[in-house]
Amino acid sequence: MGKVDLKYPEGVKWTKQRKDVYRVLSDAKEPLSAVQIYNNIQKDGNEEGYALSTIYRILAAFEEKLIVAKSTWMDNSTVVYEKIKEEHTHYALCLGCRKRIPLHACPMNHIHLEEENMGFTITGHKLEIYGYCQGCKEKD
Amino acid sequence: MGKVDLKYPEGVKWTKQRKDVYRVLSDAKEPLSAVQIYNNIQKDGNEEGYALSTIYRILAAFEEKLIVAKSTWMDNSTVVYEKIKEEHTHYALCLGCRKRIPLHACPMNHIHLEEENMGFTITGHKLEIYGYCQGCKEKD
DNA sequence: ATCAGTGCAAACGATTTGCACCTCG
DNA sequence: CGAGGTGCAAATCGTTTGCACTGAT
């Protein structure tokens, strides 16, 4: 799955390690930590996987090249990475079951800063909503 | 400053350590890390400060009691804590000078989830905006 | 060939934990 | 007095770094 047909961005030395990290991020349905990427690569292939430090270095390089964006989940401190693309997703985190529900709309479309901050140019944003999902409400 | 006149929430054993952490969080103008709280306590008082592990344990206890909320800044992975109160502030982070500009409006006032997520009850949210401030734009 | 990329192991910073002692209620 | 809180030092977890080696261009 996704092993072929991937266009690699230019300006990067495409070692097999980097291709694998890029593929995992391309297939990912949500932001992944370095360790998750590391595990996915080993699970996926017959290959024995790469050093974790290599994954971190690749991610740093990708971030530099604006191929991936680095961020963290609201509820813990592990850093996650996701491939930068036009669309983006926000999540609602259920405080009960810790499930993350993807939202399909972005409230930032309706945002404007007040006068005092007019000088600020917005290039991105991060939003997470939290609360309780149907199931967890009923359990309570 | 703020040494007196603080009402302590009930259901907590109010040792002097806990009072100091509570006071620092009450005076704080933005979320603080455990280390910042630790430093503030030593700076503030003549007291020699408490073990960092104690600060962490107090913060965990406060979180449990819903006295503080735990979160992280978008751009790094250190965990920060802030006293839970009605009002809240969002920040715009300048990617140039790394300054954080507090916003005085909350876009969540205009948010509603789509039908498919109607079952979800929102209890809170976190939003950060990033981009470039006036000064950094000019420098560029 | 050359210089960037990689693996490994050691270093690091933030956070957590075990244990003996102390203190609030 | 007793349950729970605290200090200290050691342990753990995620992430970073130094160094010698390997591989993409």
Cα–Cα distance between A52 and B140 in angstroms, integer?
A: 36
Give B107's contacts (C-beta < 8 A, 6+ positions apart).
A107, A108, A110, A111, B90, B127
DSSP per position, chain A: --SSSPPPPSSS---HHHHHHHHHHHH-SS-EEHHHHHHHHHHHSSS----HHHHHHHHHHHHHTTSEEEEE-TTS--EEEEE--S---EEEEETTT--EEEES--GGGG----GGGTTPEEEEEEEEEEEE-HHHHHH-
d(CA A89, CA A73): 13
Q: Which of A81, A120, A34 is nearest to B129 (CA)?
A: A120
pLDDT score at A116: 61
Compute CA A86 distance to the chain's CA centroid, rounded to the nearest angstrom. 13
Q: pLDDT: is B27 or A136 the higher one?
A: B27
Window 32-51 of chain B: CB closer than 7 A to strand C: 33-35
More confident residue, A39 or B133: A39
Res. B115: pLDDT tops 80: no
Of the candidates B101, B120, B126, which has its C-beta nearest A128's C-beta?
A: B126
Does B3 have pLDDT greater than 60? Answer: no
pTM above 0.85, yes or no: no
**How much is the average pLDDT of B81-92?**
85
- Bridge partners, B125 (sequence order): A129
Res. B16: pLDDT tops 60? yes
Does residue B66 have a pLDDT over 80? yes
pLDDT digits over A20-72, tens only? 999 999 999 999 999 999 999 987 665 678 999 999 999 999 999 989 988 88
Residue A54 burial by Cβ neighbours in a 10 Å radius (0-12, 13-18, 19+): middle
Q: Which nucleotide is nearest to A54 (CA to C1')?
A: C6
Minimum CA–C1' distance nucleotide for B55: D6
pLDDT band with cut points at 50, 70 and 90 for residue B32 = very high
Side-chain half-sphere of B103: how many Cα atoms within 13 Å? Answer: 22
- Integer Cα distance of A132 and A107 in angstroms: 20
How many distinct helices (H) and strands (E) make up chain B? 4, 6
Q: Which residue, among B73, B129, B130, would best test binding to A if mutated, counting the most A CBs under 10 Å from its CB?
A: B129
What pLDDT does residue A2 have? 45
pLDDT at residue A3 is higher than 70 = no
CB B115 within 8 A of CB A119: no
In eight-state DSSP terms, residue B67 is: S
pLDDT interval class at A102 (50, 70, 90): confident
Q: Check if residue B111 sits with its Cβ under 7 angstroms from strand C.
A: no
Q: Is A9 on the interface with B (CB under 8 A)?
A: no
Q: Average of pLDDT values for A90-111?
A: 78
Q: Check if residue B99 sits with its Cβ under 7 angstroms from strand C.
A: no
pLDDT (tens digit per residue) in B33-59: 999 999 999 876 656 789 999 999 999
Task: Note the maximum CA span of chain A.
Answer: 57
Six token digits for residue B35 = 């280390």
Cβ < 7 Å from strand C, A residues 41-80? 50-51, 53-54, 57-58, 61, 77
Check CB contact of B106 with chain A, cutoff 8 Å. Answer: no
Higher-scoring residue by pLDDT: A43, B27: B27
